[in-house]
Amino acid sequence: MKPLTCMISAVFILSVPLGAVELGRETIAAWNAYVARNGDRPARPGSVPPGTIMDIPGGTIYHSSGSIVIRNTTVDRVVRALMYPGTPPAQEDVLESRVMSRNGNTLRVYLKLARSAIVTVVYDTEHDVTFTRHAPGMVTSRSVATRIAESGGGDRGFLWRLNSYWRYTQVGPDVRVDLESLSLSRSVPRVARAVARPMIDRIARESLERTLVSLQRFLQAAAV
């Protein structure tokens, strides 16, 4: 499942040209290093941090988190509901979705995502999603975007990378769902950062909240 976090800010549109930008090797290296240090933390209870915006060479990382509780269900029922059909619950950010392939507990999922902030940007994306059981009452899943292409061609750098890490834990009769989302976008100009950061944080938090609320409704209905 994708937390549909997006790094589009009105400040990007007002303060930098909208032409294509290049994702450089230095930016990719910094992103990979951050993911290696911070990825998969939902597998360690109590380690989820608050939202963080980090400037790296040539880019900006947004690291957000959230959680929901699904009443009167089990981890097994939650995981089954997510793996079959394997596409995310309906929400306004997802224009299309389908499972491209399955291999055991791993799915390859296509999502057409839309984001709006001054302009609307649509992405064709593909994600590798893997579910891992750690104990009878705990399963984690990891979703890594392997392709993000801005519809219409070009790359304005609003969304370069998107990873999400989930933990499903049995807590008495309920299931707690924890999420961490990491996304990468182009750099915000230094002179605009004081204004841009609150906008980036708001947009990303709203997107994450929509994802969690839609998931909670879907899973709660499946638990009935």
Q: Tell whether the model's pLDDT for residue 210 goes beyond 90.
A: no
List the domain range (segments joined by +) for residue 87.
10-223
Question: Would 157 be classed as within a structural domain?
Answer: yes
Question: Would 19 be classed as within a structural domain?
Answer: yes
Question: Would 15 be classed as within a structural domain?
Answer: yes
Question: Would 1 be classed as within a structural domain?
Answer: no
Question: Would 121 be classed as within a structural domain?
Answer: yes
Average pLDDT score over residue span 146-175: 91
**Tens of pLDDT along 21-50?**
789 999 999 999 999 988 766 555 445 556
For residue 18, the model assigns a pLDDT of 52
Question: Would 2 be classed as within a structural domain?
Answer: no
Domain count, the chain: 1
> How many CB atoms neighbour CB 208 within 10 A?
23
What is the CATH classification number for the domain harbouring 102? 3.30.530.20
For residue 92, the model assigns a pLDDT of 83
For residue 70, give the nearest of 191, 171, 185 by alpha carbon.
171
